[in-house]
Amino acid sequence: MPPSQRKKRHRKPARSRGPSTLLVLDQTPFLKKATARCRRIQRSLDKSRRDLEQFETVAKPAFQQWMARAFGPTLSALRELQSTLDEKIALLEVLRFAVWSKGVPEYDVWEYVQRHRNDPSYRHPVYDADEDEFDDVVDFDEDDFSDFTGDEEDGDEPCAEEMAKLFGEAAREVFGEDFSDEMQEEMEEGFASFFGLARRQAISKPDGGAAELKVLYRTLARRLHPDLNPTADDRAPDRWHEVTEAYGKGDVDALRALEAVCEADAAGLGPALGLARLNAWADYHQGLLQPLKSRLREARRHPAWIGFIKNRQPPASLRDEIEEDLQHGLHGGEMQLDEIEMELDYFRSQSKPKPRPRRSRAPRRRRKQAAARDPANANPAPARAQRTVDPFQTEFAF
C-alpha cells in the first residue's frame, strides 16, 4: 500500500487540566529516621573519642613504663646506636655530595670535609669558587618579566591571550592563511591549561549562591566570633576557623552544615531542627568520624592496646615478640653501621698523605762557613795527584 493511502492516526488534543493542588507529605517518619541517624553517629563519635583518649592518656604511658622496666638496657643501646648511625650517615652524605656535586677528588675530599666541619666559613679557592657565580645566575630580576606575567600587586593577572598572541603572529608569518582563527583559539586554550593562567574571555561563573553564602557567614559570625559573642563555648574558636575557611572557598554546603551544628548546640538534637539541618548535621559529624575511626584502627594494632586495654598486663607472647623485634633491630643497626664504617674508611684511606718536611740546609752551610773562618784550616791540604793511565796499557791489558 502506498504511503499516501495509509490511514493517518489522528491524535486527540490533550485535555486541559485544572489548577494543580499541593500534595502534603507527613515528614514525621523522615524526621524520626534522620534523628535516629544523628544520634547513632553521635554515640559512635563519643565512643571513638573516649577510646582514643584512654589509649593516649592511660594505655600508652603504661606501656612505655613497662618497656623501660623490661627492656631498659636494650632500649638504651638502640638509642645510642641510632645516634651514632645518624652522625655517620650525615658525614657520608656530605662526602658523597662533595665528590659528586662539587667535583672534589677522592684523595682530597676527606680533608676538605673535615675542614668545613671545623670552620663553616671556610671556602676552598677551587672547589667553592662557583658558589658566588651560581648565586649571580639564579638571582634574576623579576621586574624583567612583569610585562609578560603581569603584576600581582596591581591585580593584573597573566593572560593566556597575550602569550598566545606572540606565538600566533609568528605562526601566521610562517603558515600564512593556513593558520586559522580556530587554531589561534586552540593555542590560547592550550596556554591556559598548560600554564594555569586565566583567560579574559572566560565566561564568569554564576553567582547564585553568593547571597546565601553571605547570609550564612553573617549568621555564624554572630554566634561564633569572639567579639560578637563573648559567651561562646570552648568549641567556638575551632568552628569559627572552619567558617572562615569555608567562606574563603565559597563552600555553601560546609556553611550550612556548620549552621546546623550551631543550631543543634543551642536548641538540642531533635526533630525540631528540621530535615535539612538534621541531614547537614549528620554529614558534618560523619566527616569527623572517619578520621577518628582510622586513628582507632591504628591504635588497636599498637602493643599498648593489646597489653593494657584488652589485658591488664601484657601477655608473655607479647613480651617475647617485642624482645625478638628489639634484638633484630639492634643486629640490623650494627650491620648497617659496619657498612657505613667501611665506606668512611675508604674515603679516609684515599686521602693524600702529607709530604715529609724537607731537611734544612742551613746548619750544613753554617758549618762550612765556620770551618772556613777557623785559623787551623788556613792552609788547606794539598790536592791529590791525579793518576795518569796509559790508554795503550788499558786497552791491551789482560
- Domain count of the chain? 2
CB atoms near residue 30 (< 10 Å): 14
Q: 3-class DSSP state for residue 128? A: coil
Q: Could you tell me if residue 52 is inside a domain?
A: yes
Cβ within 8 Å of residue 334, ≥6 positions away: 81
247: in domain: yes
Q: Are 212 and 252 in contact (CB under 8 A)?
A: yes
Residue type, 288: L
Closest CA to 305 of 118, 79, 59: 59
- Residue 63 sits in the same domain as residue 89: yes
The length of the chain, given as a count of residues: 398
Say whether both 130 and 176 belong to one domain: no
* 56 lies in the same domain as 180: no
Could you tell me if 165 and 283 lie in one domain?
Answer: no
- Find the angle CA(108)-CA(112)-CA(118) to the nearest 5 degrees: 150
**Does any domain span residue 3?**
no
316-349 vs 72-100: helix axis angle to the nearest 10? 30
Residue 79 and residue 44 share a domain: yes
Question: Tens digit of pLDDT for each residue in 298-312?
Answer: 998 888 887 777 666
Give the C-alpha separation, 42 to 291, whole Å: 15
Nine-digit cell string for 108: 682530597
Q: How far is residue 364 CA from its own chain's centroid?
A: 69
130 and 153 belong to one structural domain: no
Identify the residue whose cell numbers are 684511606. Answer: 349
Look at residue 79 and tell me if it is in a domain. yes
For residue 307, being part of any structural domain is answered with: yes
Q: Within this chain, do residues 105 and 233 fall inside the same structural domain, yes or no? A: yes
Residues 110 and 366: beta-carbon distance below 8 Å: no
Do 183 and 160 share a domain, yes or no?
A: yes
- What pLDDT, in 10s, does the model give residues 320-361? 888 999 999 999 999 999 999 999 999 888 876 655 556 555
Give residue 352's identity as a one-letter amino acid code.
K
The contacts found for 246-250 with CB under 8 angstroms, 24 or more apart, are 247/213, 247/217, 250/209, 250/213
Is residue 266 within 8 A of residue 257, CB to CB? The reply is no
Output the CA torsion 363→364→366→368 (10° steps): 160
What range defines the domain where residue 160 resides? Answer: 145-195
Same domain, 173 and 74: no
In angstroms, the Cα distances linking 222 to 212, 231, 261 are 16, 11, 14
Enter the DSSP assignment of 378. S
Q: 249 near 289, Cβ under 8 Å?
A: no
Pick from 130, 164, 195: which residue ends a domain?
195
Nearest CA-CA partner of 244 in 350, 236, 83, 189: 236
Last residue of a domain, one of 326, 349, 372: 349
Of the candidates 187, 189, 193, the one whose C-alpha atom is nearest the C-alpha of residue 175 is: 187
Question: What is the rounded distance in angstroms from the CA atom of residue 214 to the CA atom of residue 208?
Answer: 12
Cell of 285: 559529624
Q: How far apart are CA 5 and CA 2, in angstroms?
A: 6
pTM over 0.75: no
Question: Do both 153 and 79 map to the same domain?
Answer: no
Instruction: Verify that 116 and 104 share a domain, yes or no.
Output: yes
Q: Are 308 and 68 in contact (CB under 8 A)?
A: no
- At 312, list the grid cell: 591488664
Residue 134 lies in a domain: yes
Tell me if 285 sits within 8 A of 42, measured CB to CB: yes
Considering the domain boundaries, does residue 123 fall inside one?
A: yes
Per-residue pLDDT of the chain (398 residues; tens, 9 = 90+): 555 555 555 565 555 555 555 555 677 888 899 899 999 999 999 999 999 999 999 888 888 888 898 889 999 999 999 999 999 999 999 999 888 888 888 888 888 888 888 888 888 888 887 655 434 433 434 444 444 444 444 444 445 556 666 666 766 666 666 666 666 666 666 655 555 544 444 333 445 567 888 888 888 888 888 777 777 777 788 888 888 888 888 888 888 888 888 888 877 888 888 888 888 889 888 888 989 999 999 998 888 887 777 666 777 888 888 899 999 999 999 999 999 999 999 988 887 665 555 655 566 666 677 777 766 655 555 555 555 545 555 444 44
CA atoms of 83 and 323, how far apart (whole Å) = 21
Same domain, yes or no: 215 and 281? yes
**360 domain-assigned:** no
